[in-house]
Amino acid sequence: MPPYEFVGTVKALPPTQTFPSGFSKREVIVTSEEDRFPQDIAFEFVKEKAELLNGIQEADRVRISFDLRGREYNGRYFVNVSGWKIEKLDAGSDASASPGRDPGADDLAPDDLSDNMPF
């Protein structure tokens, strides 16, 4: 399976979670930039990869390389978005030139978007 990449803006950096077994993980919540209705995606960095988030701050624009991990537990299926690389992008990068971006979406106020939602 090829690695995936995601570009977005850091929304939140919850603290590292450490479990009694010694296992640790840290999440970073990143908001997509290319969707008309932005999505908040939680990426999980485990064990020594959690240290990669040191120096990352809210509002940073980042590129994350990640893998999708799936598992079954008691007949239920779960998916983890497991990050293994994160890079800060220059503030001078032109995010508005991203392919697939709807140029008119930025012109709408948040109240205007609620009328266009399919649900």
pLDDT in tens, 6-19: 999 999 999 999 99
Instruction: Write the pLDDT tens digit of every residue in 82-99.
Output: 999 999 997 654 443 333
* pLDDT, averaged across the chain: 81
> Mean of the pLDDT values across residues 27-34?
92
What's domain 4-90's architecture?
A: Beta Barrel (2.40)
Q: Where are the domains of the chain?
A: 4-90
Euclidean distance between CA atoms 33 and 66, whole angstroms: 17
Q: What is the pTM of this model?
A: 0.70
Tell me: the pLDDT tens digits for 47-73? Answer: 999 999 999 999 999 999 999 999 999
Average pLDDT over residues 19-40: 91
Higher pLDDT, 91 or 34: 34
Angle at 83 between CA 81 and CA 87, to 5 degrees: 135
